[in-house]
Amino acid sequence: GENVEQHPSTLSVQEGDSAVIKCTYSDSASNYFPWYKQELGKRPQLIIDIRSNVGEKKDQRIAVTLNKTAKHFSLHITETQPEDSAVYFCAASMAGYSTLTFGKGTMLLVSP
Amino acid sequence: DADVTQTPRNRITKTGKRIMLECSQTKGHDRMYWYRQDPGLGLQLIYYSFDVKDINKGEISDGYSVSRQAQAKFSLSLESAIPNQTALYFCATSDFGGEQFFGPGTRLTVL
């Protein structure tokens, strides 16, 4: 089955800095890679996703890159703000045909 | 608002008791999931259902069972609760190949 590894497990940055979270996956058949944000005491919510037919996707201050050859994908957050503080999860699946396999999460702390 | 709801939101029970967690959705999705979240371990899949007649075990199904009563309802049962089942439980729904929408979670404590 799929295995997703996520690094780092914790990340502390100053407000305005950039943050990068990296994930690797094992199953070359995976083609869907979402990122979820979970604020303290809340449910996980999708913030961005990428499919294997594109290498990069941006939405305002967040972007995701995908390297299919190396089987890794990354979340980039620019100009971080205190409200970006949360746990971020990456995941991988063969869209529609398999379930999501999640990484263990990264706790991002943005200090003012 | 179309949403995913879970009951109860918090539950404290004793070792050996049977407990049921319920999930309902108004999104019209066919696919439903139950996850367990423990600190530092991410979201682990317990059971999933791709339609009303379909039930599948996830990576950590031992000690759990499920029932898909209708397209909108998916229940998780702990037949005989034990302390290491203390965790945060999430239900989620999706359509084919799309975003998963999570419920608010149920915090379960087994004493």
> Which of B97, B103, B104 is opposite residue A32, by nearest beta carbon?
B97
- B104 to chain A, closest Cα gap in Å: 5
Name the band, by pLDDT with cuts 50, 70 and 90, for residue B25: very high
Q: CA A3, CA B11: separation in Å to the nearest integer? A: 32
Cβ contacts (< 8 Å) between A9 and chain B: which residues? 40
| Residue with token string 């990068």 | A20
Mean pLDDT for A97-109 is: 94
Cβ contacts (< 8 Å) between B40 and chain A: which residues? 9, 104-105
Q: Do A105 and B33 touch (CB under 8 A)?
A: no
CA angle B67, B68, B71 (to 5 degrees): 165
**Average pLDDT taken over every residue of chain A:** 95
Q: Do A96 and B96 touch (CB under 8 A)?
A: yes
Output the pLDDT for position A98. Answer: 84
Q: pLDDT tens digits for A73-82?
A: 999 999 999 9
Asked which of A22-26, A97-101, B19-23, B63-67 is least confident by mean pLDDT, the reply is A97-101
Mean pLDDT for A27-46 is: 96
Output the pLDDT for position B2. Answer: 64
- A103 to chain B, closest Cα gap in Å: 6
Mean pLDDT for A32-60 is: 95
A49 touches chain B (CB under 8 A): yes
**Average pLDDT taken over every residue of chain B:** 95
Mean pLDDT for B51-64 is: 96
Nearest CA to B58 among B84, B31, B39, B24? B31
Paired sense of beta strands A19-25 and A4-7, if any: antiparallel
| Residue with token string 């899949």 | B45
Helices (H), B10-70: none
- B4-7 sheet: strands from edge to edge: B4-7, B19-25, B73-78, B64-70
On the 0-12 / 13-18 / 19+ scale of CB atoms within 10 A, A82 is: exposed
